[in-house]
Amino acid sequence: MARHAHGELAEAARAHERFLWGLCYRMTGVSADADDLVQETYARALASPPARQEELRPWLTRVAVNLARDLLRRRKREGYVGPWLPSPLDTGEDELPPPGVEARLPGGGSTEGHYALLESVSFAFLLALEALSPKQRAVLLLRDVFDYTVREVAEALHMSESNVKVVHHRARAAMAAYDRARCLPTRELQARSRAALEGFLGALLSGDVAAAEAVLASDVSALSDGGGQVRAARVPVLGLQRVFLLYRRLLELRGPPEAMELRMLNGLPAMVAVYPPSKRDPMLGTRLVLRVELGEEGRITQVHSILADHKLAGLGMPASA
């Protein structure tokens, strides 16, 4: 009998997997962390389930959020080597977000709140969340992404409704800068970003500084996330000339990739590349995601390189010829 109940609970919990994974990914910004948090949430559900089945979703939400908050505190305490960037998530070319991005209500309907679901996995949004405390992040996501009511957030996080309102107000205030520059991943932005990315890559391959100046903003910055595992700039590189020279030098060190493709990651196009191991420098990464952010004038204001293995673990790589 106990084994039967155990199986029913596991099946009921799995019905919420898409929602939990999406919540944990947005909380942490890292796919591998989201995987671990969801599995730990299920383990705790099976070890000590809620008293009533109808309380399962709020209970799972509370456990997942608490685990994510612990992880964020640990991350801050331990520090990170170099710039931190989210792990890339394949969002595909479709108009609707894929599983893991889109959440589902218990009745089967879709939900999204103040921030669109695809927007809420964009690099710009995930980086903006870094200014929030773990509690603020949880409340903002539940209220403004998953469209929970104040009462539902209070029940899910074991908070008073008045406390939810205060935390939500402070979270909104911390997101003010993001909201002012908010740039939704529309088809039009995707097309412009692809053209700018291709223009930048073409300028790098040809060594054409004038071509680079046509797509890069004068105050462009480059952030490289190697996580201390592979060679990467440990501080932001600022300015058009420096950014161009940085990537030209990396191209010379690495040589051409074994395989490369443009793919829609976190709502915008990005280059995914695989390189052969370097005999000259074993610390050079063999996998790379390169993406850009555009400013109001349509020029590239940020170049992001994600090289850390644990950030790319869940991302399929292009096959070598």
Answer yes or no: do 158 and 14 share one domain: yes
Q: How far apart are CA 32 and CA 69, in angstroms?
A: 15
pLDDT, tens digit (0-9, with 9 covering 90-100), for 125-157: 999 999 999 999 999 999 999 999 999 999 999
Q: Is the dihedral of CA 265, 266, 270, 273 positive or negative?
A: negative
- Structure tokens, 41: 């949430």
Answer yes or no: do 119 and 249 share one domain: no
Answer yes or no: do 123 and 224 share one domain: no
Nearest alpha-carbon partner for 14 in 51, 42, 36 = 42
Q: Is the pTM higher than 0.85?
A: yes
Using CA atoms, how far residue 178 sits from 126, 147, 187, 264, in Å, is 10, 19, 20, 22
Q: How far apart are CA 180 and CA 129, in angstroms?
A: 15
pLDDT, tens digit (0-9, with 9 covering 90-100), for 23-43: 999 999 999 999 999 999 989
Q: How far apart are CA 25 and CA 86, in angstroms?
A: 9
* CATH code for the domain of 289: 3.10.450.50
Confidence at residue 4, expressed as pLDDT on a 0 to 100 scale:
43
Q: Which domain holds residue 238?
A: 187-312
* Non-local CB neighbours of 5 within 8 Å, separated by 6+ positions: none
Answer yes or no: do 286 and 169 share one domain: no
| 13 in any annotated domain | yes
Q: How many domains are contained in the chain? A: 2
Nearest alpha-carbon partner for 101 in 118, 113, 116, 83 = 118
| 61 in any annotated domain | yes
Q: Which residue has the higher pLDDT, 33 or 44?
A: 33
